[in-house]
Amino acid sequence: MTERSTMTVVVGRRAARAIVIDDFGWLVLIKRTKPGQEPYWTAPGGGVEDIDVSVEAALYRELEEELGARATDASQVFLFSSPSDAGVAVQHFFVARLVALDESVRSGPEVSDPSRGGYDLDRVDLRGADLASIDLKPTALKEFIPANREALLVEAGVAG
């Protein structure tokens, strides 16, 4: 008989992020700029809050706050975890199709607190090679997207 060890993992933070694809097959990303640092790009989204009934609900709320966007048909396609001070940080990545975007209704702390740096919308052609030239974080996401490019386009309902 072998002895099993039990490991307790504490989730310190849970986040919902979106691989948002528009009708033309372009990724909608956030370009982050902070004083004294090189810019980097990230998928829009953020922390799951107590008011959110699910991780998917948090995703839709975050897209509205951070981008002024509505998206549909979110489907979780990737899970990423990393150590954090409070335990493990877990990021749920969904692919979703962009339905509407109105930057004037962005309302999250990202846009109201200038001390947090820049949160600029950017688009990158998913079918082209531009993704390779940007610093998309986390690195695992930058590897996942091109490896699954066609499947992501299909899941988002963007043909060919």
Residue 15 CA to residue 158 CA, distance in Å, equals: 26
Backbone conformation region of residue 115, classed left if phi is above 0, alpha if psi is from -120 to 50, else beta: alpha
The better pLDDT of the pair 91, 9 is held by: 91
**pLDDT tens digits along 13-61:** 899 999 999 999 999 999 999 888 999 999 999 999 999 999 999 999 9
**pLDDT tens digits along 97-140:** 999 999 999 987 777 777 788 899 999 999 989 999 999 999 99
